[in-house]
A = this chain, B = another copy of it.
Amino acid sequence: MNLLSEIQDIPRYVQIRERLREQISKHVLKPGQKLPSENELAKHYHVSRMTVRRAIACLVDEGLLYRQHGTGTFVAQLRIERDYTRLLSSYEQILRMGLEPGMQILSLEVRPATSKVAQYLALQEGDSVIRFERLRLADGQPVSILCSYVPQKLCPQLLREDLASCQSLFQLLESYGFRLKRAVQKTEIRWADQVQARLLEVKEQAPLIYAERVTFADDGTPVDYVEGWSRADVFSFTVVLSR
């Protein structure tokens, strides 16, 4: 009889969800195995069936479990996935690759928004945006040129912050209380111009991975537009797609 902790103020469905997740990750529940029925789980945890269903529903959404109507709930076969569609800052990306992130600021200024930037950030053309351009390093080697645009009205004092000591624009934005939720990113191949080639230490016309991304807070407000040019020999890009 597993008792849920009554002391801490964590919802029961969250506690059950995390217990199930742990059992799956530790192979107590093996891939393909049938879970106890919802009624059995409800009895076991001393909660109602609806609470169990809620816990299970989360894990089904994540792809850890699947249901078969009339038959039962089962552990899915593979789980390497989840983290792949996680929205990461370039800082976090490099950390994940096991390298030491570094940064070199190229420029930092307030500018009127061009029409393209205004459109992405839902501003009027000419509204002030903070333009922050830097070279991202991994283990001391240049890997990406990044250029971010943030509406100035969202964080008027951003310039005064020490952007050099703060390793990630995301950290800064989140510390301002923006709950970054999702982003749309478009990736394609472009060829290095002279300046980019020099900064990234590649040949002119070498292929680069070009990505542009708009990041949205949870209320759908665009917070950030980033363009990035990255060395094609360093980056790969893994995502999870759903049909």
Q: A residues engaging B (CB < 8 A)?
A: 31-32, 61, 63, 66, 74, 76-81, 84-88, 122, 180-189, 207, 209, 213, 216, 218-222, 232-233, 235-243
**Which residues on B sit within 8 Å (CB–CB) of A209?**
189
**Which residues on B sit within 8 Å (CB–CB) of A78?**
122, 216, 220, 222
**Which residues on B sit within 8 Å (CB–CB) of A122?**
77-78
Question: Taking the full assembly, how many copies of this chain does it contain?
Answer: 2
The CA-CA distance from A213 to B80 in the complex, in Å, is 12
The CA-CA distance from A12 to B180 in the complex, in Å, is 32
**Which residues on B sit within 8 Å (CB–CB) of A207?**
189, 207, 232
Given contacts A66-B218, A76-B216, A188-B236, 5 further A-B pairs with CB under 8 A are A76-B220, A80-B216, A180-B243, A181-B242, A183-B240
The CA-CA distance from A235 to B87 in the complex, in Å, is 22
Q: CB within 8 A of A186: which of B74, B182, B189, B237?
A: B237
